[in-house]
Amino acid sequence: MSSLLAHELEERFVRYARIDTTSDPTSSSSPSTERQYDLLRLLVEELTAIGAQEVRLTDYGAVLATIPATVQAEVPTIAFLAHVDTAPAFSGAGVKPIVHRNYDGSAIRFPDDPQLVLSPQDCPYLASKVGDDIITASGTTLLGADDKAGVAIIMAAARRLLEHPSIPHGPIRICFTPDEEIGRGVHANLPQDLQADVAYTLDGAHLGEIVYETFSADAATVKVVGVSIHPGWATGKLVNALHLAATIIATLPKATLTPETTAGRQGFILVHDLHGNAAGATLQFALRDFELDGLQAHGQLLQQICAAVQATEPRARISCTITPQYRNMRYWLENDMRPVELAREACRQIGVEPFSVPVRGGTDGSRLTEMGVPTPNLFTGMQEIHGPLEWISLQDMVRATELCVKLAELWADAGTVAPTDQAARGSQRELTSPMDWTG
């Protein structure tokens, strides 16, 4: 199966990667960009062509489909999900995938940027992939393995299950979402529309990685309103909003609380956008931590800094609004680890040793788990995501596809899924009340 499967995965992934699906955090539409429909509509056509049932594109931009059960017993419905959008942090337009066959362990260079180097010395995981087929972009764009690798894997697994009804499995739901990269992948209607007892996102990294612990995340928007006046008459009157915004950024403890200076279970505060002028400026922050008290502390620190800067210039107006985004899926999955344990067993049965580490990020599964559908995250092989060094091993994608098929079989023997813990539902409401501070 592996050689034919590898050929299919390569063809699918390269084709999907060439489609620009960059999402846009400034857009209020769903999907946030019209270009995501180019892939979403293609997936509707391809799912229909391979024989999936109940294929539809929702009004909020998610593709849904069903693979009918091949067993008569009433067993849990599982779902596999991936997102079609790519991160707006780096260009996803004009992607030119390159397949480096039978990787020899040397540094990989990029034709469109000869100064760019993907080195196994800097990336130990790459050093372990000698002999694999490595796919990169050409040097001036991201690759889009996050998460078109997941899309290709799910499509390949779906085709195999549909073509081999002798494989025992219960009902399987397929879902492709937009806008995961901007935190809007899980629409309020998705859990009901998905109609699954348990789900898995294909949005992970290293071979064997089964994720059940992610960051909890809040977004913070800081608005600074200064006093605008012609600079020729500004003496004693101008209050420059950009200067105050810069002071807020400079006051953050950069040595201990930014993504580039933290690791492991440490959280961070990331300023990822600043725009405006002397009259007014807006700053966007990402607050991240594995524990809620740490997340709350990050928000309080940012609010305190805004208050302190406000105190230095009473003529200005500074506001800080903190909005919940997603929560650590561990809070719910630790109440019932069967979805994780079955994924680990499926790994072992395909000859891959599973492991779990806390992931310094979030997935659509973080929100789905919080909303009542337990959704661990599975490996795809994607590496160095959101930048021009992004790469993936085709052989890792093969193993991820095999994992999906094996999981479908194991859930057919797993029995019924317990109802979602009501205490967890209650805590979800408590965790998502927005916090506002205005100075």
- Catalytic residue IDs: 85, 180
Question: 7: Cβ–Cβ under 8 A, 6 or more apart, which residues?
Answer: none
Could you tell me whether strands 317-326 and 216-225 are parallel, antiparallel, or unpaired per DSSP bridges?
antiparallel
Provide the H-helix boundaries in 313-363.
Answer: 330-333, 338-349
The answer to whether residues 285 and 272 touch, using CB atoms and an 8 Å cutoff, is: yes
Cα–Cα dist 77/363, whole Å: 20
Question: 288: Cβ–Cβ under 8 A, 6 or more apart, which residues?
Answer: 215, 216, 217, 267, 268, 269, 270, 295, 298, 360
The answer to whether residues 25 and 285 touch, using CB atoms and an 8 Å cutoff, is: no
Q: Find, among 407, 414, 405, 402, the residue nearest to 338 by Cα.
A: 414
DSSP 3-state percent helix, strand, coil across the chain (nearest 5): 35, 25, 40
* DSSP H or E segment with residue 2: helix 2-17
Name 282's bridge partners: 223, 275
The answer to whether residues 79 and 365 touch, using CB atoms and an 8 Å cutoff, is: no
Cα–Cα dist 411/413, whole Å: 5
Between CA 38 and CA 44, with CA 41 as vertex, the angle to 5 degrees is 150
